[in-house]
Structure 1
Amino acid sequence: MDGSRRITIQTIADEAQVSKSTVSCYLNGRTEKMSAETRERIARVIQKYDYRPSAAARLLTAGRSCLLGVVVCDITNGFANRLVKGIAQVCRESGYQILVGTSEYDPDAELLHLERMAGMKVDGVILQPTGQPDASLALLRRAGVPVVCIDSKPEGAPLWVATSNYRSTFDAVSACLRMGYTRCLLLSAEPGLLTSRQERCQACLDAAAQAGAPCHAELIGADTPDSEILRLASQGGGRTLVFVPNCWLLPKVFRALAPLHGEIPARLGLLGFDNEEWAEFSVPSVSTIVQPALQEGASTAALLIDNLLGKPGIPQNATLACEIRLRGSTSGG
């Protein structure tokens, strides 16, 4: 075959002396109305040029792109990495490719990603919302793009997959308080409208109240000086349990508390979320509530794809259980 010549469906049609629509019917297996001679003529030309139709073109003709959009809050986060890995595994097995964007917790960036993904004709979207995603959900509805929210249960989202944030936090904080800690220090990023943050913070407050332990809550962020975190942890009498509900803040708090590591777990306890890549191996090892991120990503992708394929009896949402791993930072290991 002449490598300089681009072979198209029109090329096949011209040489076989048939129409493009006849070749298209042949390629899609609709040959019942064709004569044997026409079928053989098309087959000879296709074999001559070793013609393979563009999969993308065929999918677009059928109204499908086999592309799914994925928007997460922070792609550098280990939890988000595992979410995307779980999504990618299921998509690959189902014949889908993914486009990944990161919003950096910025609603405008989230909207921009979704606008561009809708413009690229993705079949569906998996969204880790930055907050209450009314504008994002409205945009996708207008574009006719199905969406499943992940790691959050925002009001108005028809489909979502999340983890047992409240129950797991309540159980973990309660277990630590039973080890003899007499007060809680909740160090959290702004809960805002993120349901996962709200549930974790509320669960800590409720567990402390049930145990009769005072709980002091402080908002911190990436720019909070280590000295301020150290000051907060040094206040108050008795044994203090420090709870960090944000997985991206736990490493910062652990480093800031370095001058007090010798007092862990006797006077000071530390409990956080995820960070399994280092929490088990640090000194002291850190107690964590571990989300099944890989499973959560896979379950979300499966839920979206099953809905796209119109499978009957599909659940509208799912809550996956977390695992509590108590280690040296709370006398748990």
Structure 2
Amino acid sequence: MSLALLYDGYTGSVERGGRRRIMRSKHVTVRQVAREAGVSVATVSHYLNGRYSEMSAATRERVQATIERLGYRPNELARSLARRRTATIGLIISSLTNSLYPLVILGAEAACRRAEYSLLLADAPDVESERRAVDLMRRKQVDGLILFSISLIGIANEHLFRAQAEGTPVVVINRDLPAEAPISQIQFDNFRGAYLATKHLIELGHRRIAHITHPLNRFTAISRRAGYTAALAEAGLEHDPSLVVSGDYSFESGYEATRSLLERQPSAVFVGSDAMAAGALRALRDTGREVPRDLSLVAFGNPDYIRYSTPALTTVDLPIAEAGAIAVELLLERIGEPEAPAQTRVLQPKLLIRETTAPPQPRRKEVGEQP
């Protein structure tokens, strides 16, 4: 099948006062640019597509000057049809309300803008809605897909493998995916982030360090808990299972988990998410505890409200925006070279020490407590 331009809108030129003027139609075409610049249509096409390494500087300048003088704008639809590309990337995320997810959108959008691509966004909180979003975006003929997923263990991936096999490249962020999968992936080193947080508390002198984790059907929760226990073991500290409680990522669960831990008298708490840490901070205030005087607190995640909390939360910062930009770069590589092998990038977190951690202090007596 071939495409043909049936009418290019060219109306010719006339001489007026010894000067040649273009009689412009509604749309300036490549053929007009070529004729006015005194070059072939192929030369203009090569210039527009960046293939001018063997073109003389004088020719490039003449073509560019003609484009500017005529006000030529490429017909992106026609170019997309010719290249069988739409210069559009689909981004599917599992939550538009999660405080971290907008950061990946910002990173991906900036990378798309640099590459002159558009970004199509969809919210898919579960696998079924994710399947529908993938199908819809493929019908919209996006050039590739990025998914920033919930971290469920054993999540279904068949629809992504099928899209990749049928010519729509896929890159995933934060997804449970086999290492040998044909899809490029970006992961965060959750183990190291938790290890750094716990080690920081140990170095301050804390020995009874509690951990508020997530449901253990999330591989991120397993990795963070492993990092926490590894730091304890390295310091020769016994792991006390009673100091580990589970939340569900929410403010409320962090609040309740923290209140349940207080009777076990930890001197510090490592909280596995930013929202739960905000809930923990409120629970400590409501029970009359001062942070970090009575208890140190470390969060995981760094949305804006974390650094503007009172006191500002010490936290593990994940490079979320960077992940969005890298995902676009990996996807563009697969779009340009469909047979290129899948890649895996593991991004490193960093610990941001703020106002909620300090060396442990002698415990103050509770109101009504006997000496």
CA contact (8 A) 2:229 2:239 kept: no
Query: Is 1:208 equivalent to 2:232 in the alignment?
Result: yes
2:343 to 306, 316, 319: 316
- Name the counterpart of 1:179: 204
2:96 to 75, 83, 97: 75
What does residue range 235-246 of structure 1 map to in structure 2 within 5 Å?
Answer: 235-237=263-265, 239-246=266-273
> How many residues are aligned here?
301
More helix by share: 1
Report the Cα offset of residue 51 of structure 1: 7.9
Gaps of 5+ in 2: 13-28, 35-39, 45-69, 360-371
Query: Is 1:125 equivalent to 2:148 in the alignment?
Result: no
1:12 to 8, 26, 32: 8
For residues 202 and 294 of structure 2, what CA distance do their matches in structure 1 show? 12
CA contact (8 A) 2:267 2:296 kept: yes
Report the Cα offset of residue 228 of structure 1: 2.9
Query: Is 1:249 equivalent to 2:276 in the alignment?
Result: yes
Deviation per CA, 1:27-53, whole angstroms, max 9, x where unpaired? 994489xxxxxxxxxxxxxxxx98856
CA contact (8 A) 1:153 1:162 kept: no
CA contact (8 A) 2:253 2:279 kept: no
- Name the counterpart of 2:54: none
Deviation per CA, 1:87-137, whole angstroms, max 9, x where unpaired? 111111111111111223x11122221111111111111111233342332
CA contact (8 A) 1:264 1:284 kept: yes
2:189 to 148, 157, 164: 164
Gaps of 5+ in 1: 1-7, 17-22, 33-48
TM-score by length of 2: 0.70
What does residue range 96-115 of structure 1 map to in structure 2 within 5 Å?
Answer: 96-104=117-125, 106-115=126-135
CA contact (8 A) 1:83 1:293 kept: yes
1:61 maps to a residue whose letter is: A
1:272 alignment partner, SS class? strand
For residues 214 and 150 of structure 1, what CA distance do their matches in structure 2 show? 33
Report the Cα offset of residue 199 of structure 1: 1.4
1:243 alignment partner, SS class? strand
What does residue range 196-275 of structure 1 map to in structure 2 within 5 Å?
Answer: 196-210=220-234, 211-215=237-241, 216-221=243-248, 222=250, 224=252, 228-237=256-265, 239-260=266-287, 262-275=289-302
- Name the counterpart of 2:161: 138
Report the Cα offset of residue 74 of structure 1: 1.7
1:198 maps to a residue whose letter is: I
For residues 333 and 165 of structure 2, what CA distance do their matches in structure 1 show? 21
For residues 124 and 341 of structure 2, what CA distance do their matches in structure 1 show? 29
- Name the counterpart of 2:214: 189
2:195 maps to a residue whose letter is: F
Identity %: 21
Cα distance change of structure 1 residues 183 and 109 upon mapping to structure 2, 3 Å threshold? farther
TM-score by length of 1: 0.77
CA contact (8 A) 1:229 1:257 kept: no
2:206 alignment partner, SS class? coil
Which stretch shifts more, 152-161 or 307-316?
Answer: 307-316
Query: Is 1:86 equivalent to 2:107 in the alignment?
Result: yes
1:12 alignment partner, SS class? coil
For residues 43 and 199 of structure 2, what CA distance do their matches in structure 1 show? 68
For residues 311 and 140 of structure 1, what CA distance do their matches in structure 2 show? 12
